[in-house]
Structure 1
């Protein structure tokens, strides 16, 4: 996951966060969707940010091996 934050200088504040999330998996699309929703629901960081600012992203599937 790579996070990108948008901020304003005056007043200094974070105004949004976006992310692309690349997942290496062969599971069915419905299982991947459930994984993403579960991760969002059970992440204290995601939940805290989402209460304060817009958080959005995309989930991309890949069959390529991730670098170690």
Structure 2
């Protein structure tokens, strides 16, 4: 499947590869799932880089929860 996205005012083609068969999942639903996955990646990057979650070196789960509570 070829999908186009706009970069700096120019539409560029990029490929979206999926293991789902088009007969089982509609194209629009597949694109929504891809977009949702990308949104999760953007949030993950924001949390890790901007909110210092990448700095936490604790091994205990409670320590991670405390770190998250302090950062947020």
Q: Which has a greater percent of strand?
A: 1
Q: Which has a greater percent of helix?
A: 2
Query: What TM-score do you get using the length of structure 2 for normalisation?
Result: 0.31
* Higher Cα radius of gyration: 2
If asked which structure has higher relative contact order (CA below 8 Å, sep 6+), I would say: 1
Query: What TM-score do you get using the length of structure 1 for normalisation?
Result: 0.33
